[in-house]
Chain A
Amino acid sequence: MAVVATPEAQARVERLERIWTERPGLLGWLTTTDHKRIGILYFFTTLAFFAAGGIEALLIRTQLLGPNGQVLDPAAFDQVMSMHGVTMIFLFAVPISTGAFGNYLLPLMIGARDMAFPRLNALSYWLFLCSGLFMYVGLISGNGPGAGWFNYVPLALKAYSPGPGIDYYALGLIFTGISTTATAINFIVTIFKMRAPGMSLNRMPLFCFAFLAVSFALVFALPALSTALIFLELDRLLGFHFYDPVNGGNTILWQHLFWIFGHPEVYIIILPAFGIATSIIPTFTRRRMVAFPLVALAEILVAFIGFGVWAHHMFAVGLSTITDIYFAAASLIIVVPSAIQLFAWITTLVTGRPTFKTPLLWIVGFIVLFVIGGLSGIMFAAIPFDQQLTDTYFVVAHFHYVIFGAAVFPILGGMYYWFPKVTGRMYYERIGQASFWLSFVGMNLTFFPMHIVGLLGMPRRQYTYPSGLGWTGYNLVESIGAYLLAAGLIMVVANLAVSRFRGARVGNDPWGGDTLEWATTSPPPPYNYAVIPKVSSPYAMWDREDREQDALRLAQGRQVLEQGHETPVTTVLDADWDEIVDMPSDSPWPITFALATSGIFAMLITQHFVTAAAFCGLALLVLAAWHNREPQEA
């Protein structure tokens, strides 16, 4: 609860506390619509999937530690390798950034009391959890998908993958896609309509611009994946012929559809990391971001241009030369907005007064790794180079530098940065720095030699290799690096876990942060802000007068909105006051609807189509019950 100056203000805060506090205990968590609690649920769930994906990675590296490895048989290796990719991309990287960081921080940063659609937000989480478990049921029952994360046909068709593994993949990803689409729509409406009065779009933090770009990319990219997967399941379950050349289908159709989704997905993974970097850098350099408008535009441009480059994943397929050249050129254009951001971060660092605390260390590490991954990425835009090295370990090195180095490092930095806000306690700084260095060394030992073995011709995805090809030493180093990296990551988790209970207590704003979330208590109360904050720049926390006015208005009872679950809705561009809406409170319907939807998918995978239709009917009934009471009746 916020500590406030006057008895009147104290009374208002207590009233808000009564209105907004959800029911306690397990039931409270199951029915919650509080974006912060949903963010925490996402955080722990995605962390569990990260651990599963990490164990799969260690199994792969243990298998490849030396020649002729016997830890996994070929089929098990394929499943573990496929699920490693699927888990890290769909069950960790995207949902931890959007679901955990976005959910927790976005409403706080824009001065809102919740997301635009709180129950839809809860539904996103429960659908995500159920879809992740659905896919892991496949792996644990020995029916994991074995055709890699991009699951090319014809290998993924029934004739070559007869078991249900691919069905778990395809149905599971359609399932996750529903959840992610709901999240993306919720973010866009929240960003457009729920910003605190005065936070016109040009005063919105860069973190929010990154999430806006990601959400739009998700809205338009996911349908391509859904289409590809629906076609695949129709082929597999009902004998359709979308991908079957003998009967007029086409295998390249899968590749186009998959990569129309797949390349924007790369930016969907990395843009939140850019957003985290642009939050941490100003705080620890004590200066505003250089070229703020350019960075905001670059974040949106990256997402936009990302839709026009998909066929650079297909240079070796045999498309026409003119097509290849177009996609090579488009891929090179992405360098421009990426470089704008890179130079802006570096210039801010160089011209500020940086203090290299743990969060900033991860960001500096990220910049180094992003440059290395970016440079190897540019190489792939050269078509002959790509044709030579596609499907070798050089590609694996490149995308791990980009996805692990450039996307996950800022996520880890962000975990340290916002830890005091979420828990009200400080982590151990020295252990935090040590965990960074261990992970940084482990990461480079694991992935840098992959460039070399790739150049030496080692193909990706093979379950073992013979001795005498010159790959053995590099693979040994990579595996040692993977164990070091795992140790570094365990250190991060251990530091945060112990600090949660034993760390020194901190106030609202231990870092002197620049954005609004630091204005409220640590952890924030259920209503986020006792008074709707005043905003007059993108660095709201550095505008001391505004914050003093907030305290004054709380004492005077202005802009407190204490008649119910109230929050302001503002206009899209200028964030002028428009109306005050009542937000729904905790609800049992999202989790019920998610369970009914799980029933549909469980019946589809077991091919009980009539029962699946019955679950569809049940889901519709749940929806009707959900909307039976209107917000003002609640």
Chain B
Amino acid sequence: MSDLTRSMEATGAGAAARVEQQRRALPNGVWGMALLIATEAALFGTMLASYYYLRFQTSQWPPPGIARPEVLAPAILTGILVATTVPMFLAARAAGRGHARAAMWLLLVAALVQGGYLGVQIHLFLSDLHKFSPGQTAYGSVYFTILFLHHVHVFVGIALVLWLAGRLIGGLTNYRLTATRAIAFYWYFVNAMAILVVLTQLYPSL
């Protein structure tokens, strides 16, 4: 027992990577994130189920006067966002091997793409608002609510990535390594939800 890892003493890159390799179970921080994701997935699940519940209670969807959603831009955007899974995965792997700098740069690349995605999405959201409003029909209500929920998750994800990249400037610790794994995990979830959200958003045109 005396040779057991005291995780918090791992304040250098090598020591943090060693703790990571010796550990047999997922660290508490990653478990916490997994459960946050579980409850968030249930939130998205009930929101998306509500969309289809409302849809199948009516014959015309979208209602008369509202055009079917454009497919191309949201589909391409989602593809770009989902592609950030790669730098997030690589960042977690680099951190796990003790490469703080590499992890930080990968996170910044991801944040740049994610930020661009969010910017264009907000533009599309506002231009949709000019065409039809959430206060007009239930279709508009559920359409804008689900998109907004997704965008909030992207915003929170970017904030987490930037915060983490800032911490990594000071090098790697056990705490930051666990944070990298947890935040990468969060982004896998956001990206998976992005696919479900865009499929639902474009559903009337598919």
Interface residues of A (CB under 8 A from B): 116-117, 120, 181, 184-186, 188-189, 192-193, 219-224, 226-228, 230-231, 234-235, 238-242, 244, 247-250, 253, 256-257, 260, 558-559, 563-564, 566, 568-572, 576-582, 620, 624, 627, 630-632
Contact = CB atoms under 8 A, between A and B. Distances in A.
Contacts of A620: 159
B54 A249 contact: yes
Interface of B: 1, 4-9, 11, 19, 22-25, 27-28, 31-32, 35-36, 38-40, 42-43, 45-47, 50, 53-54, 57-58, 63, 134-142, 145, 159, 163, 173-176
Nearest to A221: B42
Given A116-B32, A234-B145, A241-B135, A193 B57 contact: no
A109 B11 CA distance: 32
B8 A227 contact: no
B45 A581 contact: no
B57 A240 contact: no
Contact of B145 (A117, A223, A231, A253): A231
B50 A576 contact: no
B141 A234 contact: yes
A117 B43 contact: no
Given A239-B135, A240-B135, A116 B28 contact: yes
B46 A260 contact: yes
Nearest to A565: B8
Contacts of B4: 568, 577-580
A632 B175 contact: yes
B28 A117 contact: yes
Contacts of B137: 241, 247-248
A171 B193 CA distance: 25
14 contacts: A184-B35, A220-B39, A220-B42, A239-B135, A241-B137, A241-B140, A242-B50, A242-B138, A247-B138, A248-B58, A253-B54, A572-B25, A581-B7, A632-B174
A572 B23 CA distance: 12
> What secondary structure prevails in chain B residues at the interface with A?
helix
Contacts of B159: 620
Contacts, number: 153
A599 to B, nearest CB: 19
Given A248-B138, A253-B50, A181 B39 contact: yes
A247 B11 CA distance: 59
Given A185-B39, A228-B46, A247-B138, 11 more contacts: A189-B32, A219-B39, A221-B42, A223-B46, A226-B43, A241-B135, A247-B136, A248-B58, A250-B57, A581-B7, A630-B176
Given A117-B32, A231-B50, A580 B141 contact: no
Contacts of A572: 25
Contacts of B136: 241, 247
B46 A578 contact: no
A79 B50 CA distance: 29
A250 B138 CA distance: 9
A376 to B, nearest CB: 30
Contacts of B42: 219-224
B11 A632 contact: yes
B7 A240 contact: no
A253 B53 contact: yes
Contact of B54 (A250, A578, A580): A250
A257 B173 contact: no
A632 B25 contact: no
B35 A219 contact: yes
Contact of B141 (A226, A241, A566, A579): A241
Across chains A and B, which 3 residue pairs bring their CB atoms closest together, nearest first? A248-B138, A223-B43, A223-B42
Given A116-B32, A230-B145, A238-B135, A632 B9 contact: yes
A632 B24 contact: no
B11 A569 contact: no
Contacts of B138: 240-242, 244, 247-250
A558 B53 CA distance: 60
Contacts of B135: 238-241
A633 B54 CA distance: 52
A189 B53 CA distance: 34
A189 B31 contact: yes
Nearest to A250: B57
A563 to B, nearest CB: 7
A571 B46 CA distance: 33
A120 B35 CA distance: 14
A581 B8 contact: yes
A366 to B, nearest CB: 30
A630 B25 contact: no
Contact of B6 (A226, A249, A579): A579
A312 B87 CA distance: 47
B7 A579 contact: yes
A580 B145 contact: no
B7 A227 contact: no
A632 B27 CA distance: 16
B135 to A, nearest CB: 4
A561 B23 CA distance: 19
Nearest to A559: B1
A192 B46 contact: no
A193 B25 contact: yes
A580 B31 CA distance: 16
Nearest to A260: B46
Contact of B43 (A188, A227, A260): A227
A242 B54 contact: yes
B53 A256 contact: yes
Contacts of B35: 184-185, 188-189, 219
A282 to B, nearest CB: 30
Contact of B53 (A250, A569, A571, A624): A250
A572 B58 CA distance: 48
